[in-house]
């Protein structure tokens, strides 16, 4: 089911946000120090690696359904409270998923993204 023009724009915005989020994880990874930093570094690396493939699948699926999208990547931030940042993005995905990706196969890809984010949160919270 192809999206309307405004919905296509919203999908493109979301995909840019997903890429920016993934990049923010890399900034967090590079800056994390102290007790448990090696474990956090590895956990972030695993999440980033998962999200690279997931993002690619979601972008390609969206292009197949809607045609070429004008994806712009917003400025990437390195938040001070990275747990809150990661949790907030998980909730953002939850809020957008049904409206932007109504097909079951796109939902499956979103499930994979949310699983990767939840696993990361679990690992990072266990280090606190």
* Model confidence, pTM: 0.92
Question: In this predicted model, what pLDDT tens digit does every residue of 52-111 receive, in sequence order?
Answer: 999 999 999 999 999 999 999 999 999 999 999 999 999 999 999 999 999 999 999 999
Closest among 122, 98, 100 to 13, alpha carbons compared: 100
Question: In this predicted model, what pLDDT tens digit does every residue of 2-57 receive, in sequence order?
Answer: 566 669 999 999 999 999 999 999 999 999 998 889 999 999 999 999 999 999 99
Is the separation of the CB atoms in 72 and 16 below 8 Å? yes
Is the separation of the CB atoms in 51 and 116 below 8 Å? yes
Other Cβ atoms less than 10 A from the Cβ of 51: the count is 22
What's the CA gap between 94 and 5, in Å, rounded?
22
Return the CATH superfamily for domain 5-126. Ferritin, core subunit, four-helix bundle (1.20.1260.10)
Output b/e per residue, 65-75; b: 16+ Cβ within 10 A.
bbeebebeeee
């Amino acid at each position: 089911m192809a999206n309307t023009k405004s919905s296509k724009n919203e999908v493109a915005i979301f995909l840019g946000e997903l890429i920016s989020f993934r990049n923010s994880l890399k900034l967090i990874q590079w800056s994390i120090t102290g007790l448990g930093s090696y474990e956090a570094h590895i956990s972030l690396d695993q999440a980033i690696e998962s999200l690279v493939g997931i993002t690619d699948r979601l972008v390609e699926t969206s292009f197949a359904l809607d045609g070429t999208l004008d994806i712009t990547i917003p400025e990437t931030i390195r938040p001070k409270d990275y747990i809150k940042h990661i949790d907030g993005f998980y909730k953002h995905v939850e809020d957008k998923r049904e409206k932007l990706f109504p097909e079951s196969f796109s939902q499956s890809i979103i499930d994979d993204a949310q699983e990767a984010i939840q696993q990361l949160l679990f690992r990072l919270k266990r280090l606190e």
